[in-house]
Structure formats: C-alpha cells, structure tokens
Structure 1
Amino acid sequence: MQESKGKIGIREFIAIIILSTGTKLSDDTPTLLFKEMASAAWMAPIIIGVITFIPIYLIIRILSAYKNKNLAEVIFHLLGKFFGFILIFILLLIIFSALVVDSAVYTNIITSMYFSKTPTIAIYALLMIVCVYGAKKGIEHIGSVAWAMTFWIKISFIISLVLTFFHGQLDFLFPILGNGQWELLKGSILKSSIFADFLYLGFIFPFVKSKLDFKKGIWISFSFIIIEFSLALAAYTLLFDYIGVRLMNFPYHETIRYIEAGFLENIETFFYPFWLVASFIRFTFYLYLTAIIFGSLFKIKKYEYLLPTLATLIIFIGLIPESPTFVIFNLREKLLHFATPFFLILPLLLWLIAKLKGDLNNEKSKPFY
C-alpha cells in the first residue's frame, strides 16, 4: 500500500479525532443512549470511557511494538494471511456499513430539517463529491483543514451548550441513575463501539509524525470527547427532559432551534454552517480510512483511485431505505451492537498473540520513524 505523501502532527491528529467522533453528538447517537438509560444517559460516555480504556491502551501498545506498520499489517503479521484477511474484511464491512448508515443519517438531517424541497440524491451526491475531493488530497490536507476549523467549530458548540444550560431545568437530571444501575451499565457496554473510531486510528498510525504524537493525540482527544459527550447529553436532558429527547431524532438540531440569545432568534443559522463543515471533515476522513483498509486488504497501492467508486456505492446503498429516519435508526443500533465485541475483544486478542510471539518484549528497541 502506498503511503500518504506526508505526515500529520499531533495538532492535526487531535483535530481529526475530535471532529470525526465529536460530531456524533449531533446525529441520532444521543437518542440511542437515552432510549435505554433515560435521565442517566449523560453518565454513559464516562462509563464507556472506563470500559474502552483497556482496548485503546492495548492497541497503542501493539502498534508501538512495530516499526512503521499500520493495523492491517500488524494483523497480517500476527494472524497470518488467511485469518488476517477474514478479520480485516470484517473491519472493512463494519466501517463501510457505518459510513453508509451515518452518511444517510446526515443526509436525512439536512433534507428534513434544512432543505426539505431539495432532492435527497442531490444532497447525498454533493456530500460525497466534497468528501472524495478532500480524501484524494490525502491525510495532510484532511488534517490541515480539521485543525484550521476545530477552534471555530468547538467555540460555536460551546456557545450553544452555555445557552442550553441557561434555558434548562436541573430537576430533569433526576432520577440520577435513570432506569437503574444495571440498565446503565448494560447500555454502556452494548454501545461501547461509539468510540470504535479509536481502533480504526491504527490504520493511519504510520501517517502520524511520531509514536509519541500518536499516544498523546489519542489520550488528549479521548479525554476531551468523554467530557464533551457528557456535557452535551446533560444539556439535552436539562432542556427537554429525557422523555422529550427520546422522541427526537436529532436533539442537537432541535436544541439550536429552541435556544435564543437575548433579542436574537433563529440562531441555528449561526451554528449550522459550523456543523456542516465538521460533517464534511468527518466523512472525508471515514472515506479515506475505508480506502486505506480496502487497499491494505487487496494489496492496492494507489488506493486513492478507489474513492469515487466507494462514494458511488455509498450513495446507492444509502438511498435504499424508504423511511430513513426510522429504518436507519434501527440499523445503526444493530451495527453498534454487532461492532462492540470486535472493538472490545480484538485488541486483547492481538496483544496476547504479540505477547506469545515475544514481539512486545522488544518494544523499546523498535523505533518509530
């Protein structure tokens, strides 16, 4: 597989993670969490963070033990060609399915809440055209744009969050444990793959300037996202109560429509452009990741040429559901449940095999260039 022309530093790496994972707050992810955990949904990101700490730590340890190898190459090395191919193929199916489902969700958000008279296929096609263009530029370009926009995107989000807390009612956070501690724990475990992005970051490991940047970037962004997720879910609860959030498909967009700033009304026109840019960056990165995994699996060096074909497939498959608001919601929930065991068990499996092979014993002697 041919590498990107350049590499990204810790700033660009953190920006990519924060935008690609953080935008999940604006889709139907909060609704999935409130469905099972009620008023305690704001605690779910913290519990998920505790659960996923070990898998993420193990992936970092494994990748650090090999010189300039991405996760696909490490899997082939540890499991061999046959089992490695099967495992990477499953990972490819998961990320491709996530890309189809999530892009369909975001297209539905745009068409149903902002451009209801515009044909869905036109919105979907525009989204994918922009993503293909950005992905073809490479990881450096994606990282640069992400870093340039992160500050403004997060400032807009913080403003919306502060306004939401001012409009909210503290009583809505009770009962503090929602449907009970076991429902909270079970729901958090089943939805752990919400943070599966951190596993897939292993596929761009060689594109980060140093091993230290990779480690620091992951832990800094991981901590930031947990805090951001918890605060956002708490804000939705304070504003609408958990019963109200359950009835909403996209709580964030309902929030920015509801809140006001003094005499200013309809301030969603201020927040919407920043959300749209973040969404473009997210799917550009996902599309780039999918092409990398596909190229690694089938030994295609010029994987950039796969991008238009992948984007076309995504559009055609994403347009199949006739009632996307309900069908895609159920598909996304099932996909999260299916992906969770891979996210939690795979790092442990790879770590045990690497340990048995003795590769982890020489981790310090294997530099990262």
Structure 2
Amino acid sequence: MDHTKGMLGIREFFAIILVTIGTKLTDNTPTGLFNEVGNAAWITIIIMCLVSIIPIYLLTKVITSYENKNLVDIIYHLLGKHIGFFVILLLWLTETYSIVLSSAMYADIIETMYFVRTPILIIYIVLIGVAAYGAKKGIEYIGSAAWITLIGLNIALFVVLILSILQGRINYIFPIFGNGIPEILTEGTTNLSIFGEFLYFGFIVTSLRSINVYKKGIWIGLFYVSIVFMFALIGYVMLFDYVSIGNLNYPFHESIRYIQLGFLTNVESLFLPFWLVASFLRFSFYLYISALLFGALFKIKQFNYLVPSIAILIVFLGLIPEAPVFSLFNLREILVYITAPIFLLLPLVLWIAAKLKGEFKK
C-alpha cells in the first residue's frame, strides 16, 4: 500500500479530477449520448450528477471514518480477506479494461485527426510510454503536473465552449427533451461510468494532505465537471445539431477545426498541446491506479515498479481491434454496463458493512 505522507493539496487533487474526467469531453463519449437522447444529451449530465451524489456521499462517509487508510484497506477491513480480494480483482480488471479502450481511442484520435502519416503503433507507444513515465514517478508528480496544466487547459476549454456557443444556432437545442424524458432518465442512470473515476479517487486518499482535502475536492470536482460537461454538450449541439454529431466520432476535435478565432487559421494547433498533456496525465493516473490495485492483490508494496509491465500489456491489448472506431465504440458499451452498477452498489455495500460493524460510532 501507498502509506507515504500525503503531499497533494486541494488544488492538485481537483486538477487530477478535472484531467481524468473532463477529458472525456474530447473522445466519443458525447457521441454516444447524442445517439440515444438526441439534443437533450446535456440534460442527462444533470441526471448523472444528481444520481452520483448518493454513491459519492456513502463512499465519502465510509472513507472519512478511517484515518491513514485508503479504499483498498477499507475494502479488506469491511469485507474480509476473500471477498475483499474478489472486489479488488474486479476493480483492477475493470480499470485495466478501461485503460485499454480509452488509450486505443486516443491513439486513434491522434492518428486520424492530427498525424495521419504516423503509424498508430508509434503513436500508441509514445502515448503509453509518456504516461508510464508519469505513473512511475508517483501520484504527487501527477498531481503537480495536472495543476500546472490546469490553467492552460481551462482557458483552452472555455475558449472552445464560448466560441461554439457564439457561433452556433440556439434553435438546435430544441426540443429541449430530445427523444423524451424516459430516455433521458435511462441514459442518465446507465451512463454513470462517465463519473466512475470518483470511486477510484478513494485509492489515493492516503496521498492527500488531510481528509478534508478529499471531502472538499470530491464535491467541488463533481459539480465543476458536471457544469463543464453540460455546457460542452450544449456547445456541440448548437454548433453541429445532434443529427450531425451522431456521425462525428470526436465532436471536440471537429469543433476546434470548425470554429473561427479572428484572423487565425488552424485554430486546432492552439489547443492540441493542452489536450495532449492532459491526455498523458489522464493515462498516468490510470496506470498508477492499475499498478496500485495489482500490488494490493499480491501484496507488492513497491507497486510503482509494476507500471512498465502493465503499460506493455496495455499496448499489446489496445492494438488488437482492427477497426478502432467501430470496435471500440461497441466495447465501450460493455464497459458502461459493467462500471455503472459497480459505482452505484459498492459504496452502498461498504456503507452497510461499516454500519453493521459500528464503525461510524467509533
């Protein structure tokens, strides 16, 4: 376990949350939402945020009841050795599966949108190689780098959102409820995997300066990311209309090609560096968590040495799909239906176990 004295403050923790979840705006996550609920995709984010409050509250209640224990220790303590091992194994498999799909998708974005002449193998190796370097340096390095990147990333993101809304058409957001309220409620519940990382943030709680950093950061992060997600989806639909978005694999990258910024041409070149750095940091965090969980399964204290091996495994598995866009979209649907129940049920199970054991009274 990583029981070193925590050095991450509220700024670094918040930056990690924004980098890991906010960058989902730039892949095909919005496309899936628009395909299901039409131009009301932004409303599903509100539903997701409201539903996520329950598991995040229960998880925060459990985690803050212990000192010097991260979520791995708490799972073993509350569920026992054997059940705890199974739960950690399930979380590791889910996290690794997510890394494979997400990294393959980002390699496809870089190849198809920016470096069309570069072999995808080279792009993939560079992407995971840089991420593995950051993961091996540790969570404090990831947090510090994320905070340094955060200002530029926010500026770039808000410029894109503002220009998308200003240059879009307001009538494209009507009808407000898109394909209907039942579809909005269904998608808002089943797509909770978008916020699934809030479960994994519990694994780095011992690397934070205090438990208050976790409590404040997790709630600020949830509402901030939800607001950014909501306005981004509004910007996309105003710029392209939901029918067109359904035919776009990566709306964000199409947006920065479409919008105009004064006399400047090739606007995407202004935003690409910030997106690349954020992507590297996102996968650095993913690899760090994957190594941490694997180390917890097999009692490996120096789990950071596992990062290169896991990175090689990720590259090998990520290159298997022959048609990345279509294959990864279908595989992502499987991940959605796996992650959402885990995110909803595991905090509830831990809260009930802690309640039965009288941990809250202590």
**Which residue number in structure 1 is paired with residue 356 of structure 2?**
356
Q: CA deviation at 1:337?
A: 1.2
- Superposition map of 1:47-86 within 5 A: 47-86=47-86
Q: Partners of 2:12 and 2:140 in 1: how far apart?
A: 8
Q: TM-score, length-normalised on structure 1?
A: 0.97
CA distance in 1, matches of 2:337, 2:356: 30
- Number of the residue aligned with 1:295: 295
What one-letter code is carried by the residue in structure 1 that aligns with 2:44?
Answer: A
* TM-score for the superposition, normalised by structure 2: 0.99
Q: 1:110 to 1:131 in 2, by over 3 A?
A: same
After superposition, the C-alpha distances for 1:58-91 in whole angstroms (9 at most, x for unaligned) are: 1111011112111111111111111111111111
**Equivalents in 2 of 1:113, 1:238: separation in Å?**
22
Cα distance between partner residues in 2 of 1:4 and 1:306: 18
Contact 1:72/1:297, CA 8 A, preserved across alignment? no
Cα-to-partner distance string for 1:237-284 (whole Å, 9 max, x where unaligned): 000000111111100000000001122222111011111111011111
| 2:23 aligned partner | 23
**2:5 and 2:209 in contact (8 A); partners too:** no
Residues 240-255 of structure 1 correspond to what in structure 2 (within 5 A)?
Answer: 240-255=240-255
- For 2:6 and 2:140, the matched residues in 1 are separated by 6
Q: Is the 8 A contact 1:7 1:139 kept in 2?
A: no
Contact 1:42 1:231 (C-alpha < 8 Å) held by counterparts: yes
User: Following the alignment from structure 1 to structure 2, what is the Cα–Cα distance between the partners of residues 216 and 62?
Assistant: 15
Q: Which residue of 2 aligns with 1:37?
A: 37
1:135-158 CA-partner distances (Å, limit 9, x unpaired): 111111111111111011110111
- The question of 1:198 aligning with 2:198 is answered yes
Provide the rounded CA distance (Å) in 2 between the counterparts of 1:238 and 1:334: 29
Question: What SS class does the counterpart of residue 80 from structure 2 fall into?
Answer: helix
TM-fit CA distance, 1:7: 2.2
- Contact 1:153 / 1:278 at 8 angstroms: preserved in 2? yes
Residue 365 of structure 1 corresponds to which residue in structure 2? none
2:195 aligned partner, one-letter code = F
Unaligned 5+ segments in structure 2 are none
Q: What's the counterpart of residue 367 of structure 1?
A: none
Report Cα offsets for 1:87-137 as digits up to 9, x if no partner. 111111111100010000000000011111111110000111111111111
Tell me how far 1:5 sits from its aligned partner: 6.2
How many Å apart are 1:4 and its aligned residue? 4.5
Task: Supply the RMSD in Å over aligned alpha carbons.
Answer: 0.9
1:234 maps onto 2:234 in alignment? yes
What's the CA shift string for 1:149-188, capped at 9, x where partnerless? 1011110111111111111000100111011000000011
The Cα of 1:360 is off from its aligned counterpart by 1.2
For residue 182 of structure 2, what is the aligned residue in structure 1? 182
CA offsets 1:264-310 (integer angstroms, 9 cap, x no match): 22211101111111101111111111111111111100101100000
What are structure 1's unaligned runs of at least 5 residues?
363-369
Match of 1:216 in 2: 216
Distance 2:7 2:98 in 1: 26
Q: Deviations over 1:22-55 (max 9, x none)?
A: 0000001001111111110011111100001010
Deviations 1:204-229 (A, max 9, x none): 11111101111001111111000000
CA contact (8 A) 1:35 1:246 kept: yes
Task: For residue 2 of structure 1, report the CA deviation from its aligned partner.
Answer: 4.1
Q: Distance in 1 between the 2:20 and 2:210 partners? A: 21
Whether the 8 Å contact between 2:92 and 2:294 is mirrored in structure 1 is yes
Instruction: Report the AA paired with residue 30 of structure 1.
Output: P
Q: Which residue identity is paired with 1:38? A: G
- Between the aligned partners of 2:330 and 2:58, the Cα distance in structure 1 is 31
TM-aligned CA distance change 1:62 to 1:5, over 3 Å: closer
Structure 1 runs (4+) greater than 4 angstroms displaced: none
Q: Distance in 1 between matches of 2:131 and 2:41?
A: 32
Q: Secondary structure at the match of 1:260?
A: coil
Residues 255-274 of structure 1: matches in 2 within 5 Å?
Answer: 255-274=255-274
Work out whether 1:118 is the aligned partner of 2:118: yes
Contact 2:5 2:206 in 1 (8 A): no
Q: Which stretch has the larger CA shift, 160-169 or 232-241? A: 160-169
TM-aligned CA deviation for residue 11 of structure 1: 0.7
2:87 is matched with 87
